[in-house]
Each structure stands twice: as structure tokens, then as C-alpha cells.
DNA sequence: GTCTATAAGAAGATAGAC
DNA sequence: GTCTATCTTCTTATAGAC
């Protein structure tokens, strides 16, 4: 990886552990294996590093949204996938979603950084809300809505049903970010949550 | 209020908005209406101010836990209170809990400060988990458990039922901390959540 | 692009008068 | 207890050689 990229990578690691203000340019340089002044050949100043991390995330996200093309145009076809989704599949979906977001190094670090910085500007608050509130709810709402349309889940309020699915996952995710030792407990709770969710919304009928 | 207390109050406000590292001793002094050096007559250094805030919270919490004496000793008697709890009462309970934690000035500031600082030390992570994960779950589990024992809610897993009650509330709370403009939306969602919770766990049976 | 040397300024904290 | 003046240290950032 070239130096310019490595700077972003090491900066993200440090920002996610200590927060922007507690990380010094020299700390980042140390981890990259250069001296602080050299870093200024790659980025104008410290803030530019932070901004570049945010920009990179926006790019990654745009690409991901592109590839994740279960987007309504062929909802009819996609619904077939979820029509006969077993409880096992729903469990796997939840666990997969949870473990991916929890362990994926980039996601984890970015989420922790945003958690620390979310109150510093409206822009950062908006990014947090988009990534961890509105987008997951919209995406899962679409999926669960299709399952409901296929008659495998029963509700007159898909959005609340989705909240009931996602909020516990979010809750356990933030708990593990704070205290990784509680992951086994979280995984157990996650399984019980999804099974209970399944029963409550009447998949077996 | 005396100066020593006012310092803690203004410091908490600033820490909750910007985080510890972004607040300067001079900022705190400004808000108190003194000069920075005067502040050192009251506290040894900046960190001592932060520690005093944490200590004060621990005291407040100990008192609250004392007064909140629905603690199992007379659970039999307490269960009477919840035995005939109407949907209206459950709605009110959730809304009251939500609005108190959301708007109470001390709670709000302390929660936001901990949100920012939670990754800086195990101690702070533990306090966060206690205050916003384990204690609410334990308390609400006891309450909902009593309602269930009275036959007003039906489940074979009180802890997951409690998670289903609390996680959406936590989710909406952190959303409003980040973006207060979404409070009306959150309150609407909260009501729908509790009504749906009520239906799912079969209160009308 | 990386280095050493260094400037410039910020922020925490102390000294000592009142 | 509060102030002004000041010290010290830390941190960002620049200058200029290689």
C-alpha cells in the first residue's frame, strides 16, 4: 500500500481508539514509519487527513450501494429469494449482518470514530444517522417487507417490525464495540432475539 | 451555587458538547466567570474536574438506587401495581422513561459525555454499559416480569421480551441525542413501538 | 519524499500580589 | 479566592538540505 493510503489507514485506527483530538500528527507518522513533517507532503494538515477518511467512506459506500442491487427495480424477482426463507435463513441473515459489521475492520473503526465525533458537527451526525439508522432500516425494511408480502411474516406495520428486528442488533453491536469481551453473550442474545422475533411475527402460520 | 459546583456544571456542559480533549481549562473558567488560574484553587488539574463529575454521578446513582426501592423485597406487593396495568399505562411508562432520560439536563449531558469518552478507558466503558445497558434491562426486566407473572404479558423469555421493549427506546434515544430535530418522529415511532409490543406479547388475551 | 531543525502558537499549570 | 504575569510543555506546521 502506498504511503498516502497507509496514512489514512493508520489515522483511522488511531482516531477510532482515541478520537481526533487525542491523536497527534506524530502518532500517525510513527505508525506509518515516517517523521511527522514528511506527512505534510501527502496531506495539507491534520484535518485534511480526517476529511480524506470521510471522503473515502463516501466512495466506498457509493460503490456498495451500486453493487447491492436489490433495489426495487426487480423487486418481483427478488421477492422469490425471500418467499421461502426459513427460520434458519433469517437467523443466518441476522448473524451475518451482525458479525460483518462487528468484525469488518474498516466498518468497525469507522463506526467507532463516528461514535466519538458525532456531536462535533451536523455533517458527522448526518453521516452516522445515515449509516447506522436510516440506511439499515430502509434496506431491512425492504427485505422483511418482501418476506411479509410472501406471507411468511405478518404485520400491518413493516417499519415497526423492522425496528423490532434491527434495534436489538444495533444495541448489541454498540455494546460489543464498547466491550468486545461481551461478544459471546451478545451472539447468544442475538440468536434468542431472532427466534423470538420469528415467533412473534408468526412465521410458522 | 458555589463556584466549585459551578465548575463541574459548566465543565459537564462543555465535555458533553465537544469531548474532554476539545475543552480547555480557559473555556470552563470563562463560563464560570473567572480566570483559568482561579480554577486551580478548586481543582488540582483538568483531569480532577472530569473525575469529580464521574464521582458526583456515582453518588447521584447510589441515592437514586436507594430511593427506587422496587427491589424484590416486597415484590409481592409491588406486583399489585402492575397487575392491572393497562396499555395506556404501559405507553405512559415508556414515554415517561424516554422523555425523562432524553430531556433531563443532567442525564442528557452525562450520557453524551460518556458516549464520546467510552472508548478511552475500561472504567468509562463499564459505567456506560451499567447505566445504559445492564441497569435499564435489569430494572425493566423486573417490572415486565411482574406484569407477565400477573398474566398480562405472555412469554417464556422475559429477558428477550425486555430487550424487545428497551432496545428500540435506546435506539431512538441515541438518535435524538445526535439529532434533536428528529424528536417528533422518534415520539411517534416510540408510541407505535409500544403499541405493537403490547400486541405481540398478547396483553389483550 | 524523507529527513533535521526550528518556528509559532496553544494549552496546562504555577508564582505571587491583592 | 481571584487576579496578572509567566513558565513549561506539547503540538502543529514550515524551511530547507539531501
Residue of B nearest to A112 (CA): B119
**Which part of chain B is CATH 1.10.357?**
68-200
Placement of cell 415486565 in the chain: B144
User: A158-180, pLDDT tens digit by residue?
Assistant: 999 999 999 999 999 999 999 99
3-class state of residue B204 by DSSP: coil
Strand D interface, B 7-46, C-beta < 7 A: 29, 33-38, 41-42
Per-residue pLDDT at A203 exceeds 90: no
Which residues does B143 contact at the CB level (< 8 Å), separation at least 6?
B70, B82, B93
Residue B66 burial (C-beta neighbours within 10 Å; 0-12, 13-18, 19+):
exposed
3-class state of residue A203 by DSSP: coil
How much is the pTM? 0.95
Element (H, E) at A104: none
Ranking A4-8, A19-23, A59-63, B177-181 by mean pLDDT, the lowest is: A59-63
Which residues does B184 contact at the CB level (< 8 Å), separation at least 6?
none
Between vectors from CA A23 to CA B107 and to CA B178, what angle results, nearest 5°?
30
Q: In the prediction, which pLDDT does A80 show? A: 66
**Which part of chain A is CATH 1.10.10.60?**
1-55
With contact defined as beta carbons under 8 Å apart, do B124 and B114 qualify? Answer: yes
With contact defined as beta carbons under 8 Å apart, do A166 and A136 qualify? Answer: yes
Q: In the prediction, which pLDDT does A94 show? A: 86
Nucleotides of D under 7 A from a protein CB: 1-5, 10-16
**How many CB atoms are closer than 10 A to CB A148?**
19
Rounded to the nearest angstrom, the minimum Cα separation between B197 and chain A is: 9
Residue of A nearest to B163 (CA): A168
Per-residue pLDDT at B54 exceeds 90: yes
User: A9-30, pLDDT tens digit by residue?
Assistant: 999 999 999 999 999 999 999 9
Q: What is the CATH number of domain B68-200?
A: 1.10.357
Share of chain B above pLDDT 70, in %: 90
User: B108-139, pLDDT tens digit by residue?
Assistant: 999 999 999 999 999 999 999 999 999 999 99
Chain centroid offset of residue A55 CA: 16
Q: What is the mean pLDDT of residues A96-113?
A: 95
Between vectors from CA B155 to CA B151 and to CA B168, what angle results, nearest 5°?
110
Give the CATH number of domain B1-55; options: 1.20.1260.10, 1.20.1050.10, 1.10.10.60, 3.30.360.10: 1.10.10.60
Nearest to A167 among B19, B167, B201 (CB): B167
User: B73-108, pLDDT tens digit by residue?
Assistant: 444 555 566 667 778 888 887 898 899 999 999 999
Set of cell numbers at residue A41: 507532503
Residue of A nearest to B154 (CA): A200
Set of cell numbers at residue B174: 441515541
Judged by CB atoms closer than 8 Å, whether chains meet at A120 and B18 is answered as yes
Question: Chain B contacts of A16, Cβ < 8 Å?
Answer: 119
Between vectors from CA B112 to CA A103 and to CA B110, what angle results, nearest 5°?
125
B37 touches strand C (CB under 7 A): yes
Sign of CA dihedral B195, B200, B203, B205: positive
DSSP annotation string for A45-94: SHHHHHHHHHHHHHHHHHHHHHH---SSTTHHHHHHHHHT--HHHHHHHH
Amino acid at each position: 500500500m502506498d504511503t498516502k493510503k497507509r496514512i489514512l489507514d493508520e489515522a483511522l485506527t488511531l482516531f477510532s481508539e482515541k478520537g481526533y483530538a487525542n491523536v497527534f500528527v506524530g502518532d500517525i507518522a510513527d505508525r506509518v514509519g515516517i517523521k511527522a513533517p514528511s506527512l505534510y507532503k501527502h496531506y495539507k494538515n491534520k484535518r485534511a487527513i480526517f476529511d480524506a477518511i470521510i471522503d473515502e467512506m463516501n466512495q466506498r459506500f457509493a460503490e456498495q450501494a451500486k453493487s447491492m442491487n436489490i433495489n426495487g427495480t426487480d423487486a418481483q424477482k427478488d421477492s422469490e429469494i425471500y418467499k421461502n426463507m426459513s427460520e434458519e435463513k433469517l437467523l443466518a441473515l441476522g448473524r451475518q449482518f451482525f458479525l460483518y459489521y462487528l468484525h469488518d475492520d474498516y466498518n468497525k473503526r469507522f463506526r467507532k470514530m463516528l461514535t466519538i465525533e458525532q456531536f462535533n458537527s451536523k455533517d458527522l451526525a448526518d453521516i452516522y444517522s445515515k449509516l447506522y439508522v436510516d440506511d439499515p432500516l430502509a434496506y431491512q425494511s425492504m427485505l422483511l417487507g418482501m418476506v411479509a408480502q410472501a406471507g411468511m411474516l405478518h404485520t400491518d406495520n413493516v417499519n415497526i417490525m423492522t425496528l423490532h428486528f434491527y434495534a436489538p442488533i444495533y444495541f448489541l453491536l454498540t455494546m460489543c464495540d464498547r466491550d468486545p469481551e461481551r461478544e459471546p453473550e451478545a451472539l447468544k442474545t442475538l440468536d434468542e432475539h431472532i427466534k423470538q422475533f420469528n415467533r412473534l411475527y408468526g412465521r410458522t402460520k
